[in-house]
Structure 1
Amino acid sequence: MNRKNSLQVVCFGEVLWDNFPSGKKPGGAVMNVAYHLKTLGVNSHLISSVGADQNGTELLAVMKDSGVDTTFVQLDQEHKTSTVEVTTDQDNEVRYEIVKPVAWDYIAFENPHIRLVAQADALVYGSLSGRCETSRATLAQLLALASYKVMDVNLRAPDYDPDYISTLLYQTDLLKLNLEELTIISDWFSQDCQTETARIELLRNKFSIPEIVVTKGSKGASYYGDQTEHHWSAYAIEVADTVGSGDSFLAGLLAMKLSNEYINDTLDFAVGLSAFITTKEGACPPYKIADVNKFIRTYKKEWSVARWANPV
């Protein structure tokens, strides 16, 4: 991926500080997606809320410095800026403790949202963002305006329920989730699905979802569309941490897909970007598209040499 374009994507939901043992870093799934989209040359806009506190002031400054449009990030006088306690286990799996309630639970619908979302190429939202009624009602209004609705499943117990997520699934054009989330959600509706394909077909048929993307960590990712499926291998790399890797994947996928790139090229770039991010600390490290392209080329060259030396 090399070029910038005039694509517009609106991201709705949580913005926050991830509190790591080593210190705090900006985060939140949709904020991460917005950051990576902007870095990839896509105009990204955030609809969210921060508290009128020091954390909110600092978070707004970080977002503005990264180039993400914060025009629609509201300032909440009553609720504090979101924070999440983050820990990583010995297998590099991340655990989250999300404070509740916080400012992004109370995102209000505003008239300027109408034109913004109606004219955007995509609306990105997560299942977590509707855990409270105010933001849930706002998201419902935004979904009625959006031409292309992209749902990023983010199951964080106890902040989800099957009925609400089902409501979102019925409206989704592109669904992104990981293998664990696929298993949990499909099991809500049937205990008979034993394979990934069966689980995908269950969701596609029940909710009429045109496209589903499954991320699988070290096993890569899969795309399921109308009578087509594509599978892409992960990179064998040294992982620094996995925080935000799924968000960078989604951003890479959207940047390519909305530019009408071939699905194999799209998956190749999305998986490559996600791998690149896992070699860095934090969900939103500074980088340029050229850095990602170089990383992908280097990996492919090394993989080709290794395969030539050790043919299957």
Structure 2
Amino acid sequence: MNNIISYGEILWDLLPSGALPGGAPMNVAYHLQQLGQSPAFISRIGLDERGKDLLTFLKEKNVDTEHVQLDYHLPTGIVHATANDHGEMQYDIVAPVAWDNIAVADDTIPLVKHAQYFIFGSLATRNKTSRDTLFTLLEEARTKVLDINLRAPHFNRAIVESLLQKADILKMNVSELELITGWFADFKSSADRIAMIQEKFDIPTIIVTLGADGALMNTNGKLYRHEGFKVKVADTIGSGDSFLAAMLTNIIQQRSPEEALTFASALGALVASRAGGCPDYTIDEIHELINNDNTVRSTK
């Protein structure tokens, strides 16, 4: 049985060094599988070589592809990815593509209804078809996990606020935190920003990644922070996606917030030290990073 469902884009990241499988929901599904979970992935590909190659990749990684739909008209998604002067990735997300056209299939509603966690983001709302399908599935979902993943110009405030209203767990980066809270007021600290979103949208758990500076987690009103693990960064693709997969795995395993934040921070750093969003790694390598540095504290 699939306890976790990931919904949204699947694509190829076209990097200067070559093409790599990508899309945040697909990356999360990959990392969940790596961590011993059994996720299902709902998306859509074109009837082309790129789509065929993505299916082959997922099957090789033992990720469930049963709910990846085929589109007879639109091509498989691609993204032109380049690094800026700070090493952060910039994305040109081509449209329209197959994952803009995800439909409500006969098996998707019962699939979502019986899973404990449903992961979704904002990018899959850029087109009406996939957006309508998402909101239909959100009506059936139990624990709703919003990986906000804002990519200009593919979002707007009204839809983002609608997604926030659905979320039980919210994961975002610090730039997204500042952007969203800036719609409402001026804040002096990330803690104040998190508290505002938590109160306004009634979200029990909010997780904010801070890049090289670690991550914050506010769950049920208590704030935790990890200072991050120092690694030599290859690229940041998929780092946040692996972080989310690790957080959910630890939540399922009923680990403490401190343990979950430490483990997720370690995996995010490990993935950032390797090329692409879905590198190979072992759980032992995550624990090696943890054993070298474990600096979590909680604050009121």
Which SS does the other structure have where 1:87 is aligned?
strand
Distance in 2, matches of 1:128 and 1:217, equals: 21
Whether 2:91 is the aligned partner of 1:112: answer no
- The answer for the alignment partner of 1:3 in structure 2 is none
Give the superposition deviation at 1:243. Answer: 0.9
| Structure 1, unaligned runs of 5 or more | 1-5, 304-312
Return 280-289 or 169-178, whichever deviates more.
Answer: 280-289
Q: After the TM superposition, which residues 190-205 of structure 1 pair with which residues of structure 2 at under 5 Å, given as runs?
A: 190=185, 192-205=186-199
Give the one of 290, 294, 297 matched to 1:296: 290
Alpha carbons 1:121, 1:258 under 8 Å: kept: no
- The answer for the alignment partner of 2:247 in structure 1 is 253
Whether 2:228 is the aligned partner of 1:234: answer yes
Alpha carbons 1:7, 1:258 under 8 Å: kept: no
Deviations 1:258-305 (A, max 9, x none): 2111110000000000111111111101122223223433x339x9xx
User: Which has the larger Rg?
Assistant: 1
Distance in 2, matches of 1:168 and 1:241, equals: 28
Q: After the TM superposition, which residues 1-312 of structure 1 pair with which residues of structure 2 at under 5 Å, given as runs?
A: 8-190=3-185, 192-297=186-291, 299-300=292-293
Deviations 1:60-105 (A, max 9, x none): 1111111110100000001000000010123211111100111000
Query: What amino acid is aligned across from residue 125 of structure 2 in structure 1?
Result: G
Distance in 1, matches of 2:32 and 2:16, equals: 28
Distance in 2, matches of 1:199 and 1:85, equals: 32
Give the superposition deviation at 1:177. Answer: 0.4
Which SS does the other structure have where 1:214 is aligned?
strand
Distance in 2, matches of 1:262 and 1:7, equals: 24
Query: What amino acid is aligned across from residue 193 of structure 1 in structure 2?
Result: F
Alpha carbons 1:49, 1:73 under 8 Å: kept: yes
Which SS does the other structure have where 1:145 is aligned?
coil
Which SS does the other structure have where 2:267 is aligned?
helix
Task: Report the TM-score, using the length of structure 1 for normalisation.
Answer: 0.92
Distance in 2, matches of 1:292 and 1:211, equals: 24
- The answer for the alignment partner of 2:298 in structure 1 is none
Taking every aligned residue pair, what percent have the same amino acid on both sides? 41
Return 86-95 or 16-25, whichever deviates more.
Answer: 86-95
Query: What amino acid is aligned across from residue 293 of structure 2 in structure 1?
Result: K
Distance in 1, matches of 2:84 and 2:160, equals: 28
Alpha carbons 1:253, 1:270 under 8 Å: kept: yes
Task: Report the TM-score, using the length of structure 2 for normalisation.
Answer: 0.95
- The answer for the alignment partner of 1:310 in structure 2 is none
Alpha carbons 2:229, 2:293 under 8 Å: kept: no
Distance in 2, matches of 1:123 and 1:264, equals: 23
Distance in 2, matches of 1:292 and 1:196, equals: 27
Give the total of aligned pairs: 295
Give the superposition deviation at 1:7. Answer: 6.7
